[in-house]
Amino acid sequence: MIIIMLGAQGTGKGTVAGLISKEMNWPQISTGDIFRKNISEKTELGIEANKYISKGNLVPDEITVPMVKNRLEQEDAKDGAILDGFPRTIEQAEKLDEILAENGRKVNLVINLITPHEEIIERMITRRVCTNPDCKTIYNTKLNPTKVEGICDKCGFPVKQREDDSDPEAIRKRLDIYEEKTSPLVEYYKNKGVLRPEEISLSINRMGKEVAIDVIKDLKK
């Protein structure tokens, strides 16, 4: 079972993917997490990726695609995987189809999360993430704050704001890039019959946890 999380940054893809991953025991494969780890460790990949990420641009396919291919071939992804942050373009989607077809696999479900842009910007500015690479729990200073300010409830590590979440204008630029490059994927997967749109917004009192619960119920049917 291959699941793809679609949706602009800040819609809650990581939260939904994490809950499904935990329940179904499928790895959550996040290109964003891998890039951030390499950037913090100043690896060659991290240095190259940061040249694009720091400007709010997408990392080129020649860096991203081989990394995803290798990850999907690992043992823990044999029965299923949840891709969070890939594919971002039609070209990447087509390459993913080729990678999966080599092993007799395909994309089974695409969850498209939809949230108003102004709500996304507010949510990202107030988002905080656990610095423990084995935890990475996501908090929000307004919606879901830590019990002790700046400290993860689960593991006790510090939580902090991601550098790319601190500038509203950079966030808007990322949203513009998403609309231009990634939103066509909605039509691509709709035509394949695997698209599942889900609205996440405070205005309808429906957040990532509720979406994940509904998806998990359907997966277990």
Host H or E run for residue 52: helix 44-53
88, 95, 105, 128: the active-site residue: 88
Pair of tokens at residue 219: 């997966």
37, 160, 162, 192: the active-site residue: 162
Confirm whether 71 is a catalytic residue.
Answer: no
Confirm whether 36 is a catalytic residue.
Answer: no
CA distances for 93 relative to 7, 11, 100, angstroms? 15, 20, 11
CA 92 – CA 174 distance, rounded (Å): 18
CA 58 – CA 90 distance, rounded (Å): 13
71, 105, 127, 136: the active-site residue: 127
Nearest C-alpha neighbor of 90 from the set 197, 185, 183, 7: 185
Helices (H), 78-163: 90-101, 117-125
> Residues 6 or more apart from 65 whose CB is under 8 A from it?
92, 95, 99
Long-range contact pairs involving 97-103 (C-beta distance under 8 Å, separation at least 24) = 99/65, 99/68, 99/69, 99/72, 100/2, 100/72, 103/73
CA-CA-CA-CA torsion for 20, 25, 30, 34, nearest 10 degrees? 150
Confirm whether 192 is a catalytic residue.
Answer: no
13, 71, 105, 128: the active-site residue: 13
CA 64 – CA 190 distance, rounded (Å): 24
- Catalytic residue numbers read 13, 88, 127, 162, 174
